[in-house]
Amino acid sequence: MWRGRTAARADDAPDAIVIGAGHNGLVAANLLVDAGWTVANPDRTIMALGQRWSWTFNYYEQDNPAVGAVIHNAGTIENYPDLYLPVNQRILFKVESNDVDHSFWIPEFYFKMDAIPGRTNTFEVTPTKVGTYLGKCAELCGAYHSQMLFNVHVVTLPEYYAYLNDLKAKGQTGEIPVNPETTTVPVPSAKETTK
Ligand SMILES: [Cu+2]
């Protein structure tokens, strides 16, 4: 198990603290974590599901009276999904793939984790700064790999709940599970012809 801080900044304040269990104890750029490893009592649990070529996020808030449901948000090539994270909360991530190897990457967290079909990789992160960041796929996964972007919003806990309750009101409840049968995010025809 390792505990890493982001690289030193001028104000010496990391954007996030990442905790994981590695095979070799290195704070490596591409950390692989054994399936089944879990953080004890995380504040929040979120699944990041990669597929060609976007991300789906599931927020497991069914036991939390402030939300009371699993909430999902799925992106497409044309509409990058948002990922909301509450500041100063310990967030357990489960990283999954529907099809090929992807890699969940938030460059400003100095961390990425592979999304591999058939296994669950986990890590814990505690964002420590409110802000907006860009997330990416760090594993070349096909024609639209570079479109696998997502917007990361580190917000206060009340703002996080407000966001999830907004999605709940829109009917985005229930888990979108790993499902290799629904692998490919539709490619818009306009983009197809321009590539
Ligand atoms: Cu990818």
Residue 99 CA to ligand 1 centre (angstroms): 9
Residue 148 CA to ligand 1 centre (angstroms): 6
What pLDDT does 160 receive? Answer: 98
What pLDDT does 20 receive? Answer: 55
| 89, amino acid identity | Q
Residue 64 CA to ligand 1 centre (angstroms): 31
Give average pLDDT by consecutive 10-residue segment, the chain, 195 residues. 40 59 35 47 94 95 98 93 94 93 90 90 87 94 92 97 98 94 61 43
Answer yes or no: pTM beyond 0.85: no
What pLDDT does 12 receive? Answer: 47
Sorted by sequence, the CB contacts under 8 Å of residue 146 that are 6+ apart come out as none
Peptide bond into 105 cis (omega under 30): no
Residue 146 CA to ligand 1 centre (angstroms): 8
Residue 181 CA to ligand 1 centre (angstroms): 17
**Are residues 80 and 137 in contact, defined by beta-carbon separation less than 8 angstroms?**
no
What pLDDT does 70 receive? Answer: 98
